[in-house]
Amino acid sequence: MRRYPEAVLSAARRTVRRRRETVAFRRADERFSRALEPALSIQGFTRPIELSLLYHLALLGGGQGHVVEIGSYLGRSTVVLARAVADAGTGRVVAVDPHKGALGWGEPRETDREFLANIEASGVDEHVELMQATSVEAAQQWGGGPVRMLFVDGWHSYDAVMEDVLAWAPFLTPEPVVVFDDYPDPGVRAAIQRLNADGVVGGAQMIVGKMIAFAPQPVASAMPLPPGASMLARMGDLGYALTFRWKKDHVPEEMKHSD
């Protein structure tokens, strides 16, 4: 008897999600479709609505500086970010990834050649710089100037997210855009909460797909977002519960920030 209500609820969620995303796509910059088409031909895990979030944040973030992507895999999101910086006419995309295939599942394989081939085939190679290293190693080597947008999609654990952001924080512009993938992961979410509480990341928040983004309010206001994306982020744990299926977190107490 309990399966039927659950199936109905799941179908309702899918319908609401599709309608919210349709609103966002209708408001998207007309150039986004040119970025999306080649990206979807590349194997990856980022959904179109999440690619829209990345594209428009990189496009509207403005100011001088570069876009740093931690974790590029085969380049699906890299292509969209590169097209955005090309359309914005400022900076380049710095793709940071050791390309050793350590995804936590499957057989490890080197992916740098596939990545570079996809970037070239998509026609954005002049806007992309590959740093084949871990995030911390790349930050230690960095001498390329300010970073206006940081996209964190590396190893999904509390420690890894903290290390990634803290390593690149010294290079962020005064009002940067910071995006995190896999927000539903308990360790990732705990790290984001700690970074926000400590003032390392801040600004207007928005939840889109499995991502959460922080951006200056003028940028957030100009974004073509699904209805409620900003409100859900402002609601904290309740917004998280409404966005994702609630699961009990297993985050060590020492990883949680207490005011």
Helices 48-60, 32-40: axis angle to 10 degrees equals: 140
Asked if pLDDT for residue 60 goes beyond 90, the answer is: yes
Q: Residues 190-235: pLDDT tens digits?
A: 999 999 999 999 999 999 999 999 999 999 999 999 998 988 888 8
CATH architecture of 3-255: 3-Layer(aba) Sandwich (3.40)
**Rounded CA separation 181/200 (Å):** 17
Domain residues of the chain, as ranges? Answer: 3-255
Torsion of Cα atoms, 244 then 248 then 250 then 254, to 10°: 90
pLDDT tens readout for residues 151-179: 999 998 999 999 999 999 999 999 999 99
Average pLDDT over residues 62-82: 94
Confidence at residue 259, expressed as pLDDT on a 0 to 100 scale: 32
Does the pLDDT at position 6 exceed 90?
A: no
Q: Alpha-carbon dihedral of residues 253, 255, 257, 258, nearest 10 degrees?
A: 20
Mean pLDDT of the chain: 88
The separation between CA 24 and the C-alpha centre of its own chain, rounded to angstroms, equals: 17
- pLDDT higher than 90, residue 11: no
pLDDT score of 147 more than 80: yes
pLDDT at 253 over 50: no
The three-class DSSP label of residue 147 is strand
Per-residue pLDDT at 124: 97
Helix (H, G, I), strand (E, B) or coil at 70: strand
Residue 249: per-residue pLDDT? 41
pLDDT of residue 63: 81
Amino acid at the residue 162 = M
**Would you say how long the chain is, in residues?**
259
Average pLDDT over residues 62-90: 95
Between 244 and 59, the more confident residue is 59
Query: Could you give the C-alpha distances from 191 to 84, 135, 183, 225, 251, in angstroms and in order?
Result: 28, 16, 10, 24, 10
Q: What are the pLDDT digits (tens) for 82-138?
A: 999 999 999 999 999 999 865 555 566 789 999 999 999 999 999 999 999 999 999
Which 3 state secondary structure label does DSSP give 221? helix
